[in-house]
């Protein structure tokens, strides 16, 4: 049975809420709840699209349906809508009395199918019913809901297959399929216009969304979506509109206003990464700095550090790397810090910054070479008088230059295992893993041939150590050159995607425990990615958890974890996961996760 007490109360509330003619629209958007998971049956037609029923007769089919299934929220909205259509209309007194909605034919089964997202099945059942009872006609409301659901599906599939004109046509035929309560489709429509090079219409569509859809979050997300297609000026206009137009009660539009600034930051950080010195204005720079500080964004701080480092503003660089290392210690941050201190001539500080990672991170070992230049290597200059040409190239992250120096060095004085190994690292940095793997293998072979020198013991660590092992070092975990080579090969194999072979060979590989752990972590990350592709979501979590034991989870894997949780329908956890990633640094990826999970939880597609 229904719940008469509650529903009566809702009925009254519904009547009370029907003050303004257009409030059904806002209510339907604000108070949407799915009848079944993932499905919405909208109540309000989009403005200008409704086919008003004949005067004097309102269609109470949907109203009675909502009453029967006890969906108070929709009932309320439907009452509001009907009163908006016909101010003289009163809700029927027998709303809660069980009765067939249309004489002879009960529409409930069709509504149930529609609610369960079985639109085709609903169509089939209706056609069958009409065959059996030719005089019967389904209610307008039911047909309208079916049309809308189908159009929405059509817009989705046309947009997925990049048939932009069909997206536009389908939306034009059924504007309610791109109303606020189907925001995703409205975005798809705007995207279709943009792809069809109808920039004005794309902008108009975005503008309609941010000025009519009541939720701040929707407006904010729309601005992010639009950023792909609109000019900075248009985005500014959009933001201004979104922050002020048609405000709804209880919504805080300040988040809309900040969207533009965040977009700006994202763009600036991106520019920062490949900026030539002085490419950014002081204003831009200070804005980025403010935001990075606000968000305690270590990645952003590292980017800033490199920006200053490249300008030889070592003090500023040191301060940002330091900041990054404080917020989230990482060998990346420490690497910058080492090089910044070195630039300042503070070698002791540089060594101190390196110490937690020394021998554990190739990055750090690399950076240390700038601090304590190895003898007899690189550009042929021997002696301790300063960083070699090669080391300076490495410190600049100029890997093409690294290759060129090594090439001329080999041409001049022949190959050494150390040079070949270094070549491997530079090739890896340049994303040429197959060549890198070959270089490491060559280095390994060369090391085996080179006569042992120095006082080190052990079979695999002959003179190949020249480039990487200053005599001062003596840490137990220090990788031998042979281990470095094996490690380099493993990294290269990871990059080429040879995970099966690598997994097989790893236990027997000659590497330090730290190196093995790092490779294992990378393998698990690769496996986790693959598991997600194969839809083995529990495996994704298992792998990521195991990986997390070895090393902190980076941002991209955090997003991966979010999707695994999402697909396991652990939506709350997925939302929390995406949110935490997004809070640290909001990007399109993280926003997408937050937005989709949010919509799924709140059935707000």
Interface with another protein, residue 128, by CB under 8 A: yes
Residues ≥6 apart with Cβ < 8 Å to 175: 46, 48, 49
Least Å distance between CB 113 and another protein? Answer: 10
Interface with another protein, residue 127, by CB under 8 A: yes
Instruction: Say if residues 563 and 532 touch (Cβ distance below 8 Å).
Output: yes
Interface with another protein, residue 121, by CB under 8 A: yes
Stretch that binds another protein, among 47-55, 60-68, 70-78, 125-133 (CB under 8 A): 125-133
Residues ≥6 apart with Cβ < 8 Å to 56: 86
Q: How many residues bind another protein (CB under 8 A)?
A: 18
Least Å distance between CB 158 and another protein? Answer: 8
Stretch that binds another protein, among 130-138, 204-212, 378-386, 562-570 (CB under 8 A): 130-138
Closest CB to another protein among residues 117, 202: 117
The one among 36, 109, 112, 163 contacting another protein by CB under 8 A: 163
Interface with another protein, residue 158, by CB under 8 A: yes
Interface with another protein, residue 149, by CB under 8 A: no
Interface with another protein, residue 39, by CB under 8 A: no
Q: Other CB atoms closer than 10 Å to residue 508's CB: what's the count?
A: 8
Least Å distance between CB 127 and another protein? Answer: 4
Interface with another protein, residue 140, by CB under 8 A: no
Interface with another protein, residue 119, by CB under 8 A: yes
Closest CB to another protein among residues 9, 124: 124
Least Å distance between CB 40 and another protein? Answer: 19
Instruction: Say if residues 112 and 39 touch (Cβ distance below 8 Å).
Output: no
Interface with another protein, residue 401, by CB under 8 A: no
Closest CB to another protein among residues 121, 195: 121
Between the alpha carbon of residue 439 and those of residues 14, 179, 541, the distances in Å are 75, 58, 35
Least Å distance between CB 65 and another protein? Answer: 20
Interface with another protein, residue 120, by CB under 8 A: yes
Closest CB to another protein among residues 150, 284: 150
Closest CB to another protein among residues 168, 525: 168
Interface with another protein, residue 131, by CB under 8 A: yes
Stretch that binds another protein, among 120-128, 182-190, 228-236, 345-353 (CB under 8 A): 120-128
The tokens describing 420, both together, are: 């070949």
The tokens describing 366, both together, are: 């690399």
Interface with another protein, residue 530, by CB under 8 A: no
Closest CB to another protein among residues 150, 237: 150
Helix 140-160 / helix 61-69 crossing angle, nearest 10 deg:
80
Stretch that binds another protein, among 127-135, 185-193, 402-410, 416-424 (CB under 8 A): 127-135
CA distance 2 to 137: 27
The one among 86, 106, 166, 498 contacting another protein by CB under 8 A: 166
Q: Other CB atoms closer than 10 Å to residue 473's CB: what's the count?
A: 14
CA distance 528 to 539: 7
Query: Which of the 8 DSSP states describes residue 424?
Result: H
The tokens describing 550, both together, are: 């070895």
CA distance 76 to 9: 10
Closest CB to another protein among residues 77, 158: 158
Least Å distance between CB 227 and another protein? Answer: 30
Interface with another protein, residue 281, by CB under 8 A: no
The tokens describing 401, both together, are: 């230059």
Interface with another protein, residue 569, by CB under 8 A: no
Interface with another protein, residue 36, by CB under 8 A: no
Interface with another protein, residue 508, by CB under 8 A: no
Interface with another protein, residue 167, by CB under 8 A: no
Between the alpha carbon of residue 114 and those of residues 173, 212, 257, the distances in Å are 20, 27, 38
DSSP states of 546-596: HHHHHSPPPHHHHHHHHHHHHHTT-HHHHHHHHHHHHHHS--HHHHHHHHH
Closest CB to another protein among residues 162, 228: 162
Closest CB to another protein among residues 125, 448: 125
CA proximity to 317, closest of 367, 248, 257: 367
Closest CB to another protein among residues 163, 570: 163
Q: What Rg do the C-alpha atoms of the chain give, in angstroms? A: 32
Instruction: Say if residues 210 and 222 touch (Cβ distance below 8 Å).
Output: yes
Closest CB to another protein among residues 6, 172: 172
DSSP states of 427-467: HHHTT-HHHHHHHHHHHHHHHHHSPP-SS--SSS-SGGGGG
Strand partners, 122: none
> Is 249 exposed, middle or buried (CB count within 10 Å of its CB: 0-12, 13-18, 19+)?
exposed
Least Å distance between CB 528 and another protein? Answer: 25
The one among 161, 254, 434, 538 contacting another protein by CB under 8 A: 161
Instruction: Say if residues 593 and 563 touch (Cβ distance below 8 Å).
Output: yes
Binding to another protein in span 315-354, by CB under 8 A: none
Closest CB to another protein among residues 126, 464: 126
The one among 92, 130, 255, 316 contacting another protein by CB under 8 A: 130
Between the alpha carbon of residue 531 and those of residues 516, 536, 574, 590, the distances in Å are 22, 5, 17, 20
Residues ≥6 apart with Cβ < 8 Å to 490: 502, 506, 509, 511, 515, 519
Interface with another protein, residue 117, by CB under 8 A: no
Query: Pattern 169-198, binding to another protein, x per CB under 8 A?
Result: x-----------------------------
Least Å distance between CB 141 and another protein? Answer: 15
CA distance 114 to 39: 8
Angle at alpha carbon of residue 524, lines to 559 and 359, rounded to 5°: 105
The one among 134, 383, 474, 507 contacting another protein by CB under 8 A: 134
CA distance 139 to 60: 9
Closest CB to another protein among residues 150, 389: 150
CA distance 81 to 596: 29
The one among 34, 70, 112, 123 contacting another protein by CB under 8 A: 123
Q: Residues interacting with another protein, by CB under 8 A? A: 119-121, 123-124, 126-128, 130-131, 134, 150, 154, 158, 161, 163, 166, 169
């Amino acid at each position: 049975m229904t719940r008469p007490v509650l529903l009566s109360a809702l009925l009254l509330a519904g009547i009370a809420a029907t003050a303004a003619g257009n409030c059904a629209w806002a209510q339907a958007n604000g108070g949407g709840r799915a009848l079944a998971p993932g499905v919405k049956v909208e109540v309000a037609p989009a403005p200008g699209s409704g086919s008003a029923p004949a005067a004097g007769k309102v269609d109470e089919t949907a109203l009675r349906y909502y009453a029967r299934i006890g969906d108070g929220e929709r009932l309320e909205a439907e009452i509001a809508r009907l009163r908006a259509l016909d101010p003289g209309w009163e809700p029927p007194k027998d709303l809660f009395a069980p009765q067939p909605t249309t004489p002879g034919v009960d529409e409930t089964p069709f509504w149930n199918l529609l609610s369960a997202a079985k639109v085709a099945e609903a169509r089939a059942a209706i056609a069958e019913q009409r065959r059996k009872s030719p005089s019967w006609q389904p209610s307008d409301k039911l047909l309208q809901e079916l049309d809308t659901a189908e159009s929405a599906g059509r817009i989705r599939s046309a947009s997925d297959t990049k048939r932009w004109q069909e997206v536009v046509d389908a939306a034009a035929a059924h504007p309610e399929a791109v109303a606020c309560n189907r925001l995703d489709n409205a975005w798809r429509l705007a995207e279709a216009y943009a792809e069809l090079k109808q920039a004005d219409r794309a902008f108009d569509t975005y503008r309609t969304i941010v000025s009519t859809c009541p939720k701040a979050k929707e407006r904010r997300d729309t601005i992010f979506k639009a950023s792909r297609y609109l000019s900075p000026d248009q985005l500014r206009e959009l933001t201004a509109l979104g922050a002020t137009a048609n405000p709804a009660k209880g919504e805080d539009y300040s988040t809309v206003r900040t969207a533009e600034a965040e977009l700006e930051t994202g763009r600036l950080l991106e520019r920062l990464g490949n900026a030539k010195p002085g490419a950014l204005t002081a204003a831009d720079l200070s804005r980025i700095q403010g935001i990075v500080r606000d968000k305690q964004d270590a990645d952003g701080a590292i980017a800033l550090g490199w920006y200053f480092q490249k300008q030889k503003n070592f003090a500023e660089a040191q301060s940002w790397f330091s900041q990054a290392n404080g917020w989230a210690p990482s060998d990346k941050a420490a690497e910058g810090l080492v090089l910044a201190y070195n630039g300042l001539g503070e070698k002791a500080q540089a060594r101190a910054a390196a110490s937690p990672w020394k021998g554990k991170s190739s990055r750090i070992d690399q950076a240390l070479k700038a601090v304590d230049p190895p003898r007899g290597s690189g550009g042929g200059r021997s002696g301790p008088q300063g960083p070699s040409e090669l080391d300076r190239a490495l410190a600049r992250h100029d890997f093409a230059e690294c290759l060129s120096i090594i090439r001329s060095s080999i041409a001049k004085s022949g190959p050494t295992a150390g040079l070949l190994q270094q070549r491997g690292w530079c090739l890896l940095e340049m994303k040429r893993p197959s060549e890198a793997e070959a270089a490491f293998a060559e280095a390994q072979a060369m090391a085996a041939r080179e006569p042992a020198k120095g006082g080190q013991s052990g079979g695999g660590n002959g003179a190949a150590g020249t480039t990487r092992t200053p005599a001062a070092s003596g840490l137990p975990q220090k990788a031998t050159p042979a281990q470095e080579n094996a490690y380099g090969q493993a990294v290269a194999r990871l990059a080429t995607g040879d995970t099966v072979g690598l997994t097989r060979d790893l236990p027997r590989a000659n590497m330090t425990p730290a190196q093995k752990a790092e490779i294992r972590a990378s393998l698990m990350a690769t496996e986790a990615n693959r598991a997600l592709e194969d839809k083995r979501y529990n495996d994704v979590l298992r792998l990521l958890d195991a990986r997390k034991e070895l090393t902190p989870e980076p941002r991209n894997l955090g997003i991966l974890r979010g999707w695994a949780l999402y697909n396991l329908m652990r939506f709350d956890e997925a939302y929390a996961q995406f949110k935490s990633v997004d809070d640290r640094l909001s990007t399109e990826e993280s926003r997408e996760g937050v937005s989709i999970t949010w919509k799924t939880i709140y059935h707000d597609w």
